[in-house]
Structure formats: structure tokens, C-alpha cells
Amino acid sequence: MVTDVTTNKSLNRWFYFFVFIHVLTWTLVPFLVRYTLPMDAMEGTIWGQQFQWGYDKNPFLNGWLTALAVNLGGQSGWVVYLFSQLSVAICFWAVWQLGKKILPPLYALLAVLLLEGVQYYNLHAIDFNDNTLELGLWALTALFFYQALKSQSWRDWLLTGIFAGLGMMTKYYTIMLLIPMMLWLCISADNRKNFLKPPLYLGLAIFLLIILPHTVWLFFHDFVTINYAMDRVSSAPTWFNHFNYSSLFAWQQFEAFVPSILFTLFLFVGRQPLQQTPRIAINSFDKEFLFYVGLGPFLLTVLLSALTGIKLRAGWGEPLLSLWGIILIAWLQPRVTMQKFYRFVVLFFSLYTLMVVSYASALIKAEEPSSANFPGENIANLLTQEWHEKYHTPLPYVAGSRWLAGNIAFYSLDNPSVYINWDKKLSPWIDEESMKNKGAIFVWDISEENETQKPEILARFAHLGEMQIMYFSWMRNKEMKPVKIGVAFLPPQN
């Protein structure tokens, strides 16, 4: 076994060095090579303009934190990227703490490093959205649930309730973690004793308190987020879909985890220790925990899709794999010599560097349209300037798609409110009468087929001006077909 790197102090240094490099890299690189925020993060900036207890796609936490990031970092967006990586770092920390309770510290460190091989924790996590935010909250819920069952302390049950509630207010999919947790509480005789003790009910109370405002909000907004979720998972009622969607989702999660499996197998390459290292003894409690909390959400998701035929999205699996590094190491238990450890580290950081360079190079040399090279700031500046020249007043509203209108709202110094798809249900904060009085810019994507067609909202906004077609070159590659948008000004009526 490794001797000089297995002390807690040394391993802590390795862990925090890795987390520092990860956060620094995946914050700076997208900040330096992207011209605009990713699509979901841009959507979060729209929501973040308004203090609501829910939005049309998700509960409130994503929008609120995006608003905080924008207030701290402004139009540069670097704090938005930072928040994404802080969520990943929190996930790593929770897995590290949990891993040390189940495995020897060195193996716990390896279990965390394996997650860097999963695209959910690097490339996908660049976009600050509900899935990325869920990473940290999911792992924290698992960690403090483990500790609560072990310690029976008020503090651990309280933190379990807090992070479970915040997870639900990030994405309803968190229920797929909470159901296996509850099942284990009910099935295990030792765990059932918690129902006779007050600390569990403190955690439950704080959980219900956190989700209460959003629950009330739903009744006043036609359960818009639930309807959106149901639309996302609905599919044609065919028996084939029961097999197709569940098996495809399972394969997609396995495919995402393949690099971590290969990393682990690399630890078996080379000469084995002369003395046989005893296997790590995993007690029955830890085995059940890893099954119910580590694998349970994945198995429950696949089973639910197989039974109902609901459509699943690969990205929903982001938090599912958080404990799989621990499970893999506990199952295979590679014998790690000092030479193997350092060889693993060299391979790890070599591939890590290659991945970062490849990502940056792909965006810089992009030959296809990409959100990273979208001329959002140019569009926002030009339209805002035209508005000022016409009406000599700040731009109060912009109406259009989340992406196009969101870019204008984010990069315009006037910070106009966004009327998403000019749909009141999607933007309940918009007062149309106020917008008619103060004026707005309407924007939409157009194609060759509809470039002469006026938007369907003309009947609702009689004073809407003539449509004009505007062209904007992509950033970097000017030879690509330009971005073509339709624009119409709604003049202020006061």
C-alpha cells in the first residue's frame, strides 16, 4: 500500500489541490473562450430578474442564485461560471467526506478523482442550470442523511432536511433520491427506530417549510412547472417506448461513466504487491446505504420509465453518478502501490489537460454555429442604441425567445425585463398594459421561409412598428451564415 501519501494531512492537500485546479480551470476557460453564457444559464438570468417563488420550468433556487451571480459579476458572466464549479466542488467535498466514512482515505480520494472522468462534472457543468446546481445539493443530502442515521444528532437531521428541501426547490427530480431514502428508513429495522425519535421530524419540518412557498405559488400559477415536467416526459403510448426510453437512459449513464471505469482498471495494470493486501471490509450498513442511496435513484428512474413509458433525458442523470466512484472502488478494491498512485495521477492530469485544451480549441476554431460564439452582446448594444435614438428613454422590455431576448436583456445596460415568447403564462411578472405604455422591442428568429411574415402578436399590439430584418456576424468565424433576426419596436405610448 501507499505509505507516504496516505496520511490524512497529505491526502487533504491532494484533494483540495485537485478541487482548486478544477474550479479555477472550468471557471476561467469558458469565461475566456465563450462570448455568451450557455443557453440554460441565460435562461436563469431571465428568471433572476424577477423575485418569484417559481418559474415556468423549475422552482426558484436556480433563478435566485443566477441573479446573485449576475449582481456580483455583471455582464462578464464569470461568477455564473464560478457558481457552476462551486456546485461541483461541493459535490466533490461531500463525496470525499462520505467516502472516508466507508473506505480508507486514499480510496476515498480515488473515488472523487474518478468523477472527473464523467462529463457531467466538467463539460456539462459549465452551464449553470438545475442539473448542475443539483449536484452539490444531492451529494450533501446523501452525506448528512448517512451521518444522521449514524449519529442520530439534531444537527445532521436538520441539515438533511435543509439540503433535501433546497434540492427539491432546484429540481423536482430530487424526489428520486428521497424515495429510496424513505424506503430504506422503512425497510431496515434499525433505521425504523428513527421514526420514534424527534430529530427526524425536525428535518422533515424544515424540508416542508422550505418547499411550502413554492407549493402555494403553484396553486396560483396553474401548476405550470408540473405541467412542463409532464410534457417533457410524455411520449406516444406504445409498448416499445417502455423498453426504449428506459434502456437508452441506462446506457447513456453507463456510457458517461465508462471513462471512470477505465481509470479504475488502469490501477490494475503493473506488478501487484508481493504481500496480499486484505480486502476492505464494507459493513452491512454501508452496503445498504450504497445500494439505496447510491444506486437506488438510478434504478428507480429506469424502473419508472420501464413501467410507464415516460421519456427520459440523459442530462437528468447528472447527480445520479455522484456515489458511483465510491461504489466502483468498494467493489473492485484495486491494490494501490506508491508507483501506481503517482502513475495514476500523471495519467489523470495529462488527460485532464487534453480535455480542457480540446474544449477550448473546439470553440475557438468552431466551423458550426455555437452558443459560445453567438453575437448576443452586439445585438443588444445595437438595438439598445436604436431604442435610445428613437425614444430617448431606457429600454424597459424585450419580448421574444428565451435565448434571443435573454441575450438582449443580459447585455443591454438598461437591463430590460423579458416577456418570454410574449406568453403571459411563461412570464407572469409582465403587465401588458404597462408594457404597451412604456414600449418594448420584439425580436424573433427568422428563416428564409418566413422572413416577410409579421409576428402573430400584431393583433395584440396594434402600435407595433414595421418589422425589419437584421443580420449579425458570428463571433470568430465571419464566413458562417449570419444570424438573421426579425425586429419590431413597440413605441412608448405615454
Q: What is the pLDDT of residues 297-311, one digit of tens each?
A: 999 999 999 999 899
**Domain edges within the chain:** 8-364, 372-490
With beta carbons less than 8 A apart as the criterion, state whether 225 and 171 touch.
no
Torsion of CA 112, 114, 118, 122, to 10 degrees: 50
Q: Are 396 and 439 in contact (CB under 8 A)?
A: yes
State pLDDT tens for residues 312-359. 999 998 999 999 999 999 999 888 877 888 889 999 999 999 999 999
Q: How far is CA 269 from the centre of its chain?
A: 35
Spatial neighbors of 90 by CB under 8 A, at least 6 apart, are 135, 136, 139, 140
pLDDT reported for residue 368? 85
Cell of 202: 425536525
**Which residues are CB-neighbours of 378 under 8 A, at least 6 positions away?**
472
Question: What pLDDT does residue 324 have?
Answer: 96
Phi/psi for 54 (5° steps) reads: 180, 165
Predicted TM-score (pTM) of the model is: 0.94
pLDDT at 1: 43
Q: How far is CA 285 from the centre of its chain?
A: 30
What confidence tens digit (pLDDT) does each residue in 101-160 have? 999 999 999 999 999 999 999 999 999 999 999 999 999 999 999 999 999 899 999 999
Strands 440-445 and 483-490: antiparallel
CA distances from 250 to 3, 298, 316, 320 (A): 39, 8, 11, 11
Q: Comparing 280 with 192, which gets the higher pLDDT?
A: 192
Question: What is the pLDDT, as a whole number, of residue 2?
Answer: 44
Which pLDDT score, from 0 to 100, does residue 3 have? 44
Whether pLDDT at 447 is above 80? no
Residues 95, 326 contacting (CB under 8 angstroms): yes
The vertex-98 CA angle with 95 and 100, nearest 5°, equals: 110
